[in-house]
């Protein structure tokens, strides 16, 4: 059976099942039926003379042999894709489907407009953009590129830094008028602080003191998992807010919010384009990342 099948298709099916842990999810990504995906895996196992997966009703996991086979298989498929791209002159107009994800506020402010311009330049590329502040598993959800802000905890992913975002401490004029003086970060314990729980550190705020990063624990009476929601609370005079500068640029410009402790604010967070290492970096993905890097180069 396997001899009449395209072995590359068998290997790609194996990699997708390994990545997703599911015949159904793999089949969906590969635009085939789960029955065909299962048939491909059985054919590959038959040809290799080894079992690659443990099957259960809940999940498919790799055997020890399957795990050992994975990296060499991924390299082989990548090499084949690169060779095929060279033969087809991959530098020509890229085409196909892109699946993208980004934080809700950043995406709404920057990425949607950028995607419109990218789409106009590349009419043969289709894109699906998921704006969410929830963590998405790129491999399991079939995402090509995620825009993530801040430190990256998943070392299995590849990333390209495409910009930097300053962090600002701010509050409304009404809050400042009725609050204790704020001269240094050590005065924070006298203040109401609004905690945006989307920040990994949450209630641990970092400033630059005597040229060195210093972290201060704040007790936020109000906590919220929304940057725009935290901004609204600050505008309503509910306390100090540590947030990404782009969230409050217009408010600072119009005086609705006042930046505080500017001499202590040196923190910037990286904007990263993140993508799975096991997936061939297709022309459309490379083109999109290059476009975003050029687009956001002013964010430094």
Question: CA–CA separation, 204 vs 196, rounded Å?
Answer: 11
Give the strand pairing for 60-62 and 53-55.
antiparallel
pLDDT at 198: 79
- The residue with tokens 């825009």 is 147
Contact 130, 136 (CB under 8 A): yes
Question: CA–CA separation, 259 vs 239, rounded Å?
Answer: 13
The separation between CA 233 and the C-alpha centre of its own chain, rounded to angstroms, equals 26
pLDDT at 17: 92
Question: CA–CA separation, 208 vs 213, rounded Å?
Answer: 5
> Which 3 state secondary structure label does DSSP give 251?
helix
CA distances (Å), origin 16, targets 32, 39, 65, 74 = 12, 14, 16, 10
Number of other residues whose CB lies within 10 A of the CB of residue 169: 22
pLDDT at 116: 95
Q: What are phi and psi of 98, to 5 degrees?
A: -115, 135
Question: CA–CA separation, 173 vs 165, rounded Å?
Answer: 24
> Which 3 state secondary structure label does DSSP give 114?
helix
Contact 184, 261 (CB under 8 A): yes
Question: CA–CA separation, 144 vs 140, rounded Å?
Answer: 11
Question: CA–CA separation, 172 vs 241, rounded Å?
Answer: 9
pLDDT at 75: 77
Contact 82, 280 (CB under 8 A): yes
Q: What is the CA radius of gyration of the chain?
A: 24
Ranges of the chain whose pLDDT falls below 50: 1-5, 89, 279
> Which 3 state secondary structure label does DSSP give 236?
coil
């Amino acid at each position: 059976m396997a001899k009449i099948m395209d072995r590359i298709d068998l290997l790609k099916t194996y990699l997708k099942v390994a990545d997703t842990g599911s015949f159904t999810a793999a089949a969906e990504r590969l635009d085939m039926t789960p029955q065909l995906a299962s048939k491909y895996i059985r054919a590959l196992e038959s040809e290799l003379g080894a079992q690659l997966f443990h099957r259960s009703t809940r999940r498919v996991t790799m055997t020890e042999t399957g795990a050992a086979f994975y990296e060499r298989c991924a390299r082989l498929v990548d090499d084949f894709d690169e060779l095929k791209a060279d033969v087809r002159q991959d530098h020509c107009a890229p085409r196909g489907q892109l699946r993208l994800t980004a934080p809700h506020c950043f995406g709404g402010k920057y990425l949607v407009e950028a995607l419109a311009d990218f789409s106009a330049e590349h009419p043969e590329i289709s894109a699906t953009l998921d704006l969410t502040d929830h963590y998405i598993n790129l491999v399991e959800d079939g995402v090509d590129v995620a825009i993530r802000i801040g430190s990256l905890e998943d070392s299995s992913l590849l990333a390209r830094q495409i910009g930097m975002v300053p962090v600002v401490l701010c509050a409304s004029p009404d809050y400042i008028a009725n609050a204790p003086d704020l001269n240094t970060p050590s005065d924070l314990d006298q203040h109401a602080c609004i905690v945006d729980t989307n920040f990994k550190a949450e209630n641990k705020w970092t400033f630059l003191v005597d040229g060195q990063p210093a972290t201060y624990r704040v007790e936020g009476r109000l906590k919220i998992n929304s940057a725009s929601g935290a901004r609204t609370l600050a505008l309503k005079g509910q306390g100090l807010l540590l947030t990404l500068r782009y969230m409050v640029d217009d408010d600072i410009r119009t005086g609705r919010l006042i930046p505080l402790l500017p001499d202590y604010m040196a923190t910037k967070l990286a904007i990263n384009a993140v993508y799975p290492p096991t997936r061939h970096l297709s022309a459309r993905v490379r083109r999109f990342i290059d476009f975003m890097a050029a687009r956001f180069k002013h964010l430094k």
